[in-house]
Amino acid sequence: MSSANQVSPVFEKDDGVVRPTAKFHSNVWGDRFLNYKEQDEIGHASQLKEVEKLKEQMREKVVGIGNQPLSEQLNLIDAIERLGVAYHFETETDQLLQHIFDSYNHYIINDDIDLYTSALCFRLLRQHGHYVSCDIFNKFKDDKGNFKESLRADMSGMLSLYEAAQLMVHGEEDTLEEAIAYTTTHLQSMATHLSNNPLATQILHVLKWPVHKAVPRIETRRYISIYQDDPSHNQALLNLSKLDFNLLQILHKKELCELSK
């Protein structure tokens, strides 16, 4: 070990007592967290009030979406979870997913449901403790039992299937391990051909960090940027996620200030 990385003892006298001390390196963060001031919370009360207003709007949205197409219900739940505000609507989303689960057999035999929606339904239900069979993916296979080549053109469907397949349990290897291998190969190929396109970055990120394996708050920050560029985004949900994220940052800064002191 080089001397630059070693801690050299220094002896100091205090009232006749010799005590060993050490020349520790200075904190890499400096006084950054000590500089937190109450001024950082300017507008805090008004933000909390706005959050409550947006929460009520979204709560009504979740409760009232049960009669809409399955894809709309699933997309709303997925967006709420990815944007980090699901803890505000646990009761409402659980009830909605229970309704979807109770009607699951109807959805399985519905040939109009595409790969993206089928995989999203499978993943969300499993993430919330509902066991559903991977047989839902059999309709996307050919006569030889392989996933159809026509699926290669469906990027959103491939991404959704890749994330859903991560939740396989023992006995499903024939279907879901094949799904992981199939989607990985073709998604990597898509990313290569897209080159510097932002979609390539998104594909590579999902391949490395499927949603249920990613760090939630980091994933939230990344997804906010993606969601706001989606023409079909819900503005109230987007505003809620940004405010919620910023308020949590203020709380973390305040806690770090107290810990640093």
Q: Which tens digit of pLDDT belongs to each residue from 41-98? A: 666 778 889 999 999 999 999 999 988 999 999 999 999 999 999 999 999 999 999 9
pTM: 0.83
Q: How confident is the model at residue 189 (pLDDT cuts 50, 70, 90)?
A: very high
Nearest alpha-carbon partner for 80 in 220, 225, 229:
220
What distances in angstroms separate CA 52 from CA 45, 55, 236, 240, 252, one per listed residue? 11, 5, 11, 9, 20
Does 194 have pLDDT greater than 90? Answer: no
- Position 4 scores a pLDDT of 46
Looking at per-residue pLDDT, the higher value among 191 and 20 belongs to 191
Residue 5 CA, chain-centre distance (Å), reads 39
Does 17 have pLDDT greater than 70? Answer: no
Q: What percent of the chain has pLDDT over 70?
A: 85
Tokens matching residue 203: 């594909």
CA distance 94 to 86: 10
CA distance 135 to 97: 19
- Position 7 scores a pLDDT of 47
Q: How confident is the model at residue 151 (pLDDT cuts 50, 70, 90)?
A: very high
- Position 173 scores a pLDDT of 82
